[in-house]
């Protein structure tokens, strides 16, 4: 009997919270990604995360440009290493690896760019991170 008296207030509070949540709860299926973005955005923050001039698009395009530029630089560096290797087999192998890894890095960057576009288009259809003519 003592145990029942001990847990009665806790049980009553749990039931009250559950009943109150039934009346207060919103339909979560009516919420979109944009509702969450707008709720999380503070004052003075960019209003557009997706789309042609959005923050995510800008960051993606800048990173793709940097990776592309670094890959071209590494391709040139690998080519120069190959030319000045003077037939040394270890230097030739190292130069070939530099060129190979630069090409693999460029391919991975483009695949990551495609994956980002896929995710953004899945979350917010019609507002991909691609290069737009706006």
Tens of pLDDT, residues 96-115: 999 999 999 889 888 888 88
Residue 16 lies in a domain: no
* pLDDT at residue 56, as a whole number: 74
Domain count, the chain: 1
Domain ranges, residue 39: 32-123
The answer as to whether 84 is a domain residue is yes
Domain-located, residue 111: yes
In a domain, 47, yes or no: yes
pLDDT of residue 132: 47
Radius of gyration, CA atoms only, the chain: 28
Per-residue pLDDT at 29? 62
pLDDT at residue 12, rounded to an integer: 78
**Averaged confidence pLDDT in the chain:** 77
Burial of 67: CB neighbours in 10 Å, binned 0-12, 13-18, 19+: middle
User: What number is the average pLDDT over the span 54-63?
Assistant: 79
Domain membership of residue 73 (yes or no) is: yes
Given a cut of 50, whether residue 24 has pLDDT beyond it is yes
pLDDT at 80 over 80: yes
What tokens appear for 14 in the block?
């749990």
Q: At which residue do the structure tokens 């040394």 appear?
A: 88
The pLDDT of residue 131 is above 50 = no
Q: Does the residue 77 lie in any domain?
A: yes
Q: For residue 5, is it within any domain?
A: no
Domain assignment present for 6: no
């Amino acid at each position: 009997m003592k145990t029942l008296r001990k847990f009665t207030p806790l049980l009553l509070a749990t039931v009250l919270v559950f009943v109150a949540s039934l009346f207060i709860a919103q339909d979560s299926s009516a919420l979109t990604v944009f509702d969450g973005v707008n709720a999380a955005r503070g004052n003075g923050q960019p209003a557009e995360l997706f789309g042609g001039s959005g923050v995510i698009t800008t960051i993606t395009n800048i990173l793709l440009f940097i990776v592309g530029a670094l890959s071209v630089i590494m391709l040139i560096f690998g080519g120069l290493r190959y030319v000045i290797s003077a037939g040394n087999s270890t230097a030739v192998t190292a130069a070939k690896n530099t060129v190979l890894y630069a090409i693999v890095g460029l391919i991975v960057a483009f695949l990551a760019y495609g994956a980002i576009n896929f995710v953004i288009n899945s979350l917010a259809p019609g507002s991909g991170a691609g290069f737009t003519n706006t």
